[in-house]
Amino acid sequence: MSWFKRIKAGITTRTLEKKETPEGLWHKCASCKRIAPMKDHIERNYVCEKCGYHERIGSKDYFKILFDENQFTEINAGLVSDDPLNFSDTKKYTDRLEEAIKKTHLNDAVRTAYGKINSNDLMIACMDFSFIGGSMGSVMGEKISRAIDECIVKKTPLLVISKSGGARMMEAAFSLMQMAKTSSKLTLLSKEKIPYFSLMTDPTTGGVTASFAMLGDVNMAEPGALIGFAGPRVVKETIRKDLPKGFQTSEFVLEHGFLDFIIDRRQLKKRLTSLITFFKN
């Protein structure tokens, strides 16, 4: 008999109690496991130096990367979800919302802000996956819709950075109709000949893909992102076969003709600046 006896088995932290890792001094790449100083990693816009893996980041980081001197004006920050259906599954929707707000310090899964990028005006709607999987409910639809209105008034180009699992089920048909709302609003932007850029990041699926994300005047994606309509698990269950390697990645979507290009996050600001200039002149 061994002198050491394990009383508890393995790691016992429940998913519920897991804590967000605090920002440390070192960063370990989730893909190639390379360890680099956090400071350098941030300087590289959270892209791994060795393998080019794009770490998932949120609106705060994208705004910082894109807006000149991180100067921007956020609009409609006070929009928060209501619970029109009094929805409850294993948990009440209102509880889920409260938890998400507390955990992320965000009011919803998208933030909209305008500012300058290399001295050009730009409106950005950027999603946060940390807020209920970046899911699209009434608030996201309304924020994007109002951002489009603002773009029309200000004659400012629009960039939407998508990072979402799709519609927010807890708002049922309301969330479905956000696809109609945002897409039909985009026809107005198009009528004014104001450019709309869509950047798809990891992951962009479901109702977001099947509405504004695929409707850009220029559709672009970060490398290696999951982009699709149905999630890979659903597709796998449907065809009852293993999925081919690289299925539904940015590279796959580009090969099939639905992206204009794939852009490394470190070149994003420069590329956007060129595009804005091209469309302007």
Q: Which stretch binds other proteins (CB under 8 A): 20-28, 151-159, 163-171, 272-280?
A: 163-171
d(CA 138, CA 125): 15
Omega of the bond prior to 203 within 30 degrees of 0, cis?
yes
Amino acid identity of 54?
Answer: H
**Residue 7 CB, nearest approach to other proteins (Å):** 30
Residue 130 sits in the site that holds other proteins (CB under 8 A): no
Our CB check for other proteins shows the closer of 156 and 198 to be 198
Question: Does 61 interact with other proteins (rule: CB under 8 A)?
Answer: no
The Cβ of residue 89 has, within 10 Å, a number of other Cβ atoms equal to 9
Residue (49 or 82) nearer to other proteins, CB:
82
Q: Is 181 in the site for other proteins (CB under 8 A)?
A: yes
Asked if 15 touches other proteins (CB under 8 A), the answer is: no
Nearest to 21 by CA among 45, 34, 38, 9: 38
Of 137 and 195, the one with the shorter C-beta distance to other proteins is 137
Q: Give yes or no for a contact between 61 and 70, defined as CB atoms under 8 angstroms apart.
A: no
Q: Which residues contact 174 (CB under 8 A, 6 or more apart)?
A: 84, 85, 137, 138
Q: Which residues contact 83 (CB under 8 A, 6 or more apart)?
A: 92, 93, 94, 97, 170
> In 10 A of CB 205, how many CB atoms?
25
- Report how far apart the first and last C-alpha atoms of the chain are (Å, whole number): 81
Judge residue 52's burial from the number of C-beta atoms within 10 Å of its C-beta, 0-12 exposed, 13-18 middle, 19 or more buried: middle
Please, what is the minimum distance in Å from the beta carbon of residue 29 to other proteins?
Answer: 28
- Distance in angstroms (rounded) separating the CA atoms of residues 278 and 253: 25
Q: Residue 28: which H helix or E strand, with range?
A: strand 26-28
Q: Which is nearer to other proteins, 53 or 229 (CB)?
A: 229
| Binding of other proteins by 65 (CB under 8 A) | no
Scanning 9-17, 22-30, 170-178, 268-276 for contacts with other proteins by CB under 8 A, the matching segment is: 170-178
Q: Which is nearer to other proteins, 30 or 234 (CB)?
A: 234
Q: Is 178 in the site for other proteins (CB under 8 A)?
A: yes
Instruction: Quote the least distance from Cβ 153 to other proteins, whole Å.
Output: 16
Q: Which stretch binds other proteins (CB under 8 A): 27-35, 114-122, 134-142, 269-277?
A: 134-142
Q: Is 177 in the site for other proteins (CB under 8 A)?
A: yes
Residue of 134, 141, 157, 195 interacting with other proteins (CB under 8 A): 141
Binding site for other proteins (CB under 8 A): 60, 73-74, 76-82, 84-85, 87-90, 105, 107, 113, 137-139, 141-142, 145, 167, 169, 171-181, 183-188, 206-207, 209-215, 227-230, 234-235, 238-239, 241, 243-244, 247-248, 252, 256-258
